[in-house]
């Protein structure tokens, strides 16, 4: 049998993902290793895990550098990469929102300025509303933008809303809910179909039992 | 300007030799199966393409009279036009091409804005034999360049249409469903089924559809699940095609995906894609397009495929295969009074298929003799 490689997003989501894989019985003892290394092999289960920047996961999977990947729906919608999105893994819940200061300041600008890490999502959202905006791409600390007058509003991902509140911002509009997804390279699904199918089925079982436990 | 625009590239001698070799091999296979090569123009009126292609994806420009022209985004549409207007009559018609096409997609590895497609079209027949032949030619073409570890993934667009027909859905909902299926999105599918209140057998239909891919057993499973006459017929058709390919000894290359839907919306029957292990993208796509010629006025069934030459190069590099025949290189050094003899000798050797370069003694000093397999000294 051949190795299956999985791209995990660096950060909190990686831990949840690894827990999920271990619960599903597809991998063992990788949690402690992965914090130190970029690539961890589970020789027993023939799995290879690699840790990459969350924004890069879909790229690795699209090109087949990884067979599978775990990525937030927000990133998938932003990048529109060509891969299968097979499962909603029901963790890493958050929301893509438009947020701004509690009291909108008067502005003489016709085009609202929108600061965001997700320029494509923001553009698409405002275009569908028929609103002309100016998108300002940032790479982090987006909440700062309205405070220092770089933009009127932001489009960003929100989990608890604490960061927004602390910076005196409120949610103006919700764009879509997001959660972690299992994505698969299109060629891998067909050339390694037996193994990948197995993994999907096992993960699906675990996700569903989790869900039931939570609902009880 | 010393930089090139995004999406185009130079092929330098070594690389181009490699590319040409692949194209030659493909052409050779097509011709041996009875396909005749044709070459439509690189650009024509944009209208001919915009029926099927998003205009934003075309390279469009004006001629002096103000007509809108476009570089071809694929050759199949052009062949449909040619057959409908200039070649109607004797069917089946078997045509092939190796040509550059142009699409304004974001450039990626192995997917440039100018790229080369090698393909065939089998026009005028719609039997399972023709669908099987086209798949067989694709397999032989890939094998001819030394690609071994690949799968031809076969689907059937009528199958999805049949499943949807029973459900009485709005167009928007069908598009959503198609998107879920395209992504093999099981969670999305489940949610769709719940939200629409679809129950019982039909729910099971949809639920399993994203997972209906794999070997021959998929067809059996599909038959158990989808026992309506129409769906049964589409599965039977796939089975008949499979049986032919089995007779050709090609079953190891075939897999099925009943949830396959295609991006190009001209396909009407069997569709397929070829995947090479280790390459993340399909290197060949094809299928039946019985409606396409109708756009140009003639209702004639047709099927075909296109292989991406650049992606084939990528696949060969990954498999570390060298398909270029090493040719014998000869250097002839001659004294100027013997130039006539030297040229005769060179011609003789070239006729034998060797590569021959000639230099007079004086000039030969600057030539790298180590790069030649043989050196002939015509001094005395």
Which pTM was predicted? 0.85
CA distances from B124 to A15, A67, A160, B34, B239 (A): 57, 40, 62, 15, 22
B308-325: average pLDDT: 82
Task: Show me where the domains of chain A are located.
Answer: 4-92+179-215, 94-178
Compute the half-sphere exposure of residue B341: CA atoms within 13 Å on the CB side of its CA: 11
User: Which is nearest to B151 in space by CA: B270, B297, B52, B256?
Assistant: B256
Q: Residue B281: its chain A contacts at CB < 8 A? A: 63-64, 82, 186-187
Integer-rounded Cα radius of gyration of chain B: 26
Q: Residue A91: its chain B contacts at CB < 8 A? A: none
Instruction: Judge contact between A26 and A87, C-beta under 8 A.
Output: no
* Minimum-distance CB partner of B280 among A186, A197, A204: A186
Chain B contact for A88 (CB, 8 A cutoff) = yes
Compute the half-sphere exposure of residue B154: CA atoms within 13 Å on the CB side of its CA: 30
What local confidence, expressed as pLDDT, does residue B320 receive? 65
Q: Residue A87: its chain B contacts at CB < 8 A? A: 185-187
> Of A191, A198, A201, which to mutate for an interface test with B (greatest number of B Cβ within 10 Å)?
A191
Q: Give the pLDDT band (50/70/90) at residue A216.
A: very low
Residue A211 clears pLDDT 80, i.e. is over it: no
What distance in Å separates residue B93's CA from the closest CA in chain A?
32
Lowest mean pLDDT among A79-88, A132-141, B192-201: B192-201
Instruction: Judge contact between A124 and A212, C-beta under 8 A.
Output: no
What value, to the nearest 5°, has the Cα angle with vertex A192 and ends B145 and A201?
Answer: 160
- Using the beta-carbon criterion (under 8 Å), do A189 and B278 form an inter-chain contact? no
Chain B contact for A202 (CB, 8 A cutoff) = no
> Of A62, A86, A180, A189, which to mutate for an interface test with B (greatest number of B Cβ within 10 Å)?
A86
A87 to chain B: closest CA residue: B187
Sign of CA dihedral B349, B351, B355, B357: positive
What local confidence, expressed as pLDDT, does residue B107 receive? 66
Q: Residue A192: its chain B contacts at CB < 8 A? A: 277
Strands A94-101 and A153-158: antiparallel
Q: Which residues contact B217 (CB under 8 A, 6 or more apart)?
A: none
Q: What are residue A134's DSSP bridge partners? A: A113
> Of A63, A79, A85, which to mutate for an interface test with B (greatest number of B Cβ within 10 Å)?
A85
Distance CA B57, CA B105 (A): 6
Q: Residue A189: its chain B contacts at CB < 8 A? A: 184, 213
Distance CA A46, CA B259 (A): 28
* Minimum-distance CB partner of A63 among B109, B185, B275: B109
Neighbours of B348 (CB within 10 A): 11
Q: Residue B279: its chain A contacts at CB < 8 A? A: 64, 187
- Can A4-92+179-215 and A94-178 be said to share one CATH topology? yes
* Tokens of residue A130, six digits: 């028929």
* Minimum-distance CB partner of B280 among A62, A86, A194: A62
Torsion over CA of B230, B235, B237 and B239, rounded to 10 degrees?
A: -160
Tokens 């690609």 — which residue?
B147
The burial class, CB within 10 Å (0-12 / 13-18 / 19+), for B298 is middle
Q: Which residues contact B340 (CB under 8 A, 6 or more apart)?
A: none
Q: What are residue B329's DSSP bridge partners? A: B355
* Minimum-distance CB partner of A64 among B153, B213, B278: B278
ipTM above 0.85, yes or no: no
pLDDT digits 0-9 by tens, A118-145: 999 999 999 999 989 999 999 989 999 9
Please give the residue that has the higher pLDDT: either A158 or B205: A158
Name the CATH superfamily housing domain A94-178.
Periplasmic binding protein-like II (3.40.190.10)
Distance CA A158, CA A104 (A): 20
Q: Residue A185: its chain B contacts at CB < 8 A? A: 280
Q: Highest-confidence range of A200-214, B21-35, B107-121, by mean pLDDT?
A: B21-35
Per-position DSSP letters for chain A, written without gaps between them = ---EEEEEETTHHHHHHHHHHHHTTS--S-HHHHTT-SEEEETTTTEEEEEE-GGGHHHHHHTTSSSEEEEEHHHHHHH--SSEEEEE---S-EEEEEEEESSPPP---SSEEEEES-HHHHHHHHHHTT--EEEEE-SS-TTHHHHTTS-SEEEEEESSSHHHHHTTEEEEEEEEEE-EEEEE-HHHHHHTHHHHHHHHHHHHHHHHHHHHHHH-
Q: What percentage of chain A carries pLDDT values higher than 70? A: 92
- DSSP code at position B235: H
Tokens 């570890």 — which residue?
B149
B330-342: average pLDDT: 92
> Of B183, B253, B315, which to mutate for an interface test with A (greatest number of A Cβ within 10 Å)?
B183
Instruction: Judge contact between B116 and B286, C-beta under 8 A.
Output: no
Mean pLDDT of chain B: 89
- Using the beta-carbon criterion (under 8 Å), do A86 and B255 form an inter-chain contact? no
A39-49: average pLDDT: 86
Question: What's A64-76 look like in SS3?
Answer: CCCCEEEEEHHHH
- Using the beta-carbon criterion (under 8 Å), do A88 and B187 form an inter-chain contact? yes
Q: Give the pLDDT band (50/70/90) at residue A72.
A: very high
- DSSP code at position B87: -
pLDDT digits 0-9 by tens, B138-178: 999 999 999 988 999 999 988 888 888 877 788 888 888 88
Q: Residue B153: its chain A contacts at CB < 8 A? A: 190
What distance in Å separates residue A52's CA from the closest CA in chain B?
18
What local confidence, expressed as pLDDT, does residue B35 receive? 97
Strands B114-123 and A153-158: unpaired
What value, to the nearest 5°, has the Cα angle with vertex B36 and ends B31 and B38?
Answer: 130
Chain B contact for A71 (CB, 8 A cutoff) = no
What distance in Å separates residue B282's CA from the closest CA in chain A?
7
User: Which is nearest to B94 in space by CA: B132, B124, B138, B139?
Assistant: B124
What distance in Å separates residue A128's CA from the closest CA in chain B?
16
A76 to chain B: closest CA residue: B183
Q: Residue A181: its chain B contacts at CB < 8 A? A: 187
pLDDT digits 0-9 by tens, B223-249: 888 778 888 888 999 999 999 999 999
Q: Which residues contact B238 (CB under 8 A, 6 or more apart)?
A: B154, B156, B219, B256, B270
Name the CATH superfamily housing domain A4-92+179-215.
Periplasmic binding protein-like II (3.40.190.10)
Beta strands in B75-175 (DSSP E): 93-102, 114-123, 150-156
Biggest CA–CA distance in chain B, Å, is: 96
Q: Give the pLDDT band (50/70/90) at residue B88.
A: confident
Chain B contact for A63 (CB, 8 A cutoff) = yes
If DSSP codes are grouped into helix, strand and coil, which group holds residue B246? helix
What local confidence, expressed as pLDDT, does residue A215 receive? 47
Q: Give the pLDDT band (50/70/90) at residue A208.
A: confident
Distance CA B321, CA A32 (A): 40
- Using the beta-carbon criterion (under 8 Å), do A86 and B109 form an inter-chain contact? no
- Using the beta-carbon criterion (under 8 Å), do A64 and B185 form an inter-chain contact? no
């Amino acid at each position: 049998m051949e190795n299956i490689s999985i791209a995990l997003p660096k950060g909190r989501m990686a831990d949840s993902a690894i827990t999920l894989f271990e619960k599903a019985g597809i991998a063992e003892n990788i949690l402690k290793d992965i914090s130190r290394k970029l690539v961890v092999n589970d020789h027993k289960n023939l799995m290879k895990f690699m840790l990459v920047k969350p924004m890069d996961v879909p790229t690795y999977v699209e090109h087949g550098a990884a067979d599978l990947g775990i990525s937030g729906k927000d990133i998938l919608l932003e990048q529109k990469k060509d891969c299968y999105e097979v499962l909603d893994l029901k963790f890493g819940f958050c929301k893509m929102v438009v947020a701004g200061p509690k009291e909108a300041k008067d502005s003489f600008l016709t085009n609202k300025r929108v600061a965001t890490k997700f320029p494509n999502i923001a553009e698409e959202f405002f275009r569908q509303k028929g609103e002309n905006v100016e998108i300002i791409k940032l790479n982090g600390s987006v909440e700062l933008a309205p405070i220092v007058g770089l933009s009127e509003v932001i489009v960003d991902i929100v989990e608890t809303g604490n960061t927004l509140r602390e910076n005196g911002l409120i949610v103006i509009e919700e764009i879509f809910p997001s959660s972690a997804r299992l994505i698969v390279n299109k060629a891998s699904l067909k050339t390694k179909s037996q193994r990948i199918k197995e993994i999907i089925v096992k993960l699906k079982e675990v996700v569903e039992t989790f869900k039931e436990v939570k609902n009880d | 300007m010393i930089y090139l625009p995004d999406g185009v590239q130079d092929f330098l001698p070594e690389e181009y030799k490699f590319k040409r070799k692949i194209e030659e091999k493909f052409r050779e296979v097509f011709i041996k199966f009875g396909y005749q090569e044709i070459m439509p123009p690189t650009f024509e009126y944009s209208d001919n393409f915009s029926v099927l292609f998003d205009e934003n994806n075309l390279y469009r420009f004006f001629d002096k009279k103000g007509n809108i022209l476009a570089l071809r985004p694929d050759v199949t549409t052009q062949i449909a036009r040619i057959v409908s207007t200039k070649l109607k009559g004797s069917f089946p018609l078997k045509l092939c091409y190796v040509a550059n096409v142009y699409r304004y997609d974001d450039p990626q590895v192995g997917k440039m804005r100018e790229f080369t497609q090698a393909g065939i079209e089998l026009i005028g027949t719609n039997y399972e034999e023709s669908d099987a032949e086209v798949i067989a030619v694709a397999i032989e073409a890939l094998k001819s360049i030394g690609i071994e570890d690949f799968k031809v993934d076969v689907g059937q667009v009528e199958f999805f249409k049949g499943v949807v027909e029973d459900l009485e859905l709005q167009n928007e909902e069908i598009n959503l469903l198609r998107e879920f299926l395209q992504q093999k999105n099981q969670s999305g599918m489940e949610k769709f089924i719940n939200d629409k209140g679809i129950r019982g057998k039909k729910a099971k239909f949809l639920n399993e559809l994203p997972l209906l891919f794999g070997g021959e057993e998929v067809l059996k499973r599909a038959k158990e699940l989808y026992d309506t006459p129409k769906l049964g017929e589409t599965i039977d058709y796939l089975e008949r095609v499979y049986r032919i390919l089995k007779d050709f000894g090609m079953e190891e290359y075939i897999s099925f995906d009943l949830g396959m839907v295609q991006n190009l919306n001209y396909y009407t029957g069997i569709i397929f894609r070829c995947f090479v292990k280790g390459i993340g993208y399909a290197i060949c796509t094809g299928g039946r397009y019985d409606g396409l010629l109708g756009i140009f006025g003639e209702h004639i069934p047709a099927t075909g495929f296109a292989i991406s030459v650049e992606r084939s190069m990528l696949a060969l590099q990954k498999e570390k295969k060298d398909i270029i025949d090493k040719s014998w290189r000869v250097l002839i050094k001659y004294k100027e009074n013997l130039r006539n003899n030297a040229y005769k000798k060179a011609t003789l050797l070239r006729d034998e298929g060797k590569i021959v370069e000639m230099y007079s003694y004086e000039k030969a000093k600057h030539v790298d003799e180590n790069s030649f397999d043989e050196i002939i000294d015509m001094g005395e």
